[in-house]
């Protein structure tokens, strides 16, 4: 009898095909998880920005109506640095923040999930 050492070409091809199938199923799940993480980070940034605006409004006689981060960062100390959306191009927009106004992201929408401008 012949003593076989190693794998045949068919066995290697089957293993590679199985690895390819597993990778094809896993990659979309990772992409979705990354998108959800960016969205949750954006919502967290909106909450932080709203908190800073609220603290600013409590301390000043003229409240902020829009998310002007230049007044919230630096010497004022409400934010250590400016808050940006994790997605490139995302801008935080809002109005009437001293009352019941909403702050939203141009990509992810408001904290409750509704999309800005739609």
Residue 56: is it exposed, middle or buried by C-beta count within 10 angstroms (0-12/13-18/19+)?
buried
Q: How far, CA to CA in Å, does 42 sit from each of 24, 35, 88?
A: 28, 11, 11
Average pLDDT over residues 46-68: 86
Does 115 have pLDDT greater than 60?
no
Residue 112, classed as helix, strand or coil, is: coil
Q: Which pTM was predicted?
A: 0.70
Q: Give residue-wise pLDDT tens across range 101-111.
A: 788 888 888 86
Classify each residue of 69-94 as buried b or exposed e, where b means 16 or more C-beta atoms within 10 Å of its C-beta.
bebbbeeeebbeeebebbeeebebeb
State the alpha helices, DSSP H only, in the chain: 9-59, 69-72
Does 117 have pLDDT greater than 60?
no
* 1: confidence class by pLDDT, cuts 50, 70, 90: low
Residue 103, classed as helix, strand or coil, is: strand
Does 17 have pLDDT greater than 90?
yes
Does 112 have pLDDT greater than 60?
no
Does 22 have pLDDT greater than 80?
yes
Q: Are 116 and 105 in contact (CB under 8 A)?
A: yes
User: In percent, how much of the chain has pLDDT > 70?
Assistant: 89
Does 23 have pLDDT greater than 60?
yes
């Amino acid at each position: 009898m012949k003593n076989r050492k190693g794998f045949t070409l068919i066995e290697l091809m089957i293993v590679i095909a199985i690895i390819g199938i597993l990778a094809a199923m896993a990659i979309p799940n990772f992409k979705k998880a990354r998108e959800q993480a960016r969205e949750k980070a954006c919502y967290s940034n909106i909450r932080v920005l709203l908190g800073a605006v609220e603290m600013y409004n409590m301390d000043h006689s003229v409240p902020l109506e829009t998310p002007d981060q230049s007044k919230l960062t630096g010497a004022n100390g409400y934010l250590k640095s400016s808050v940006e959306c994790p997605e490139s191009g995302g801008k935080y927009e809002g109005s009437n923040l001293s009352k019941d106004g909403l702050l939203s992201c141009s990509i992810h929408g408001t904290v409750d999930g509704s999309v800005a401008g739609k």
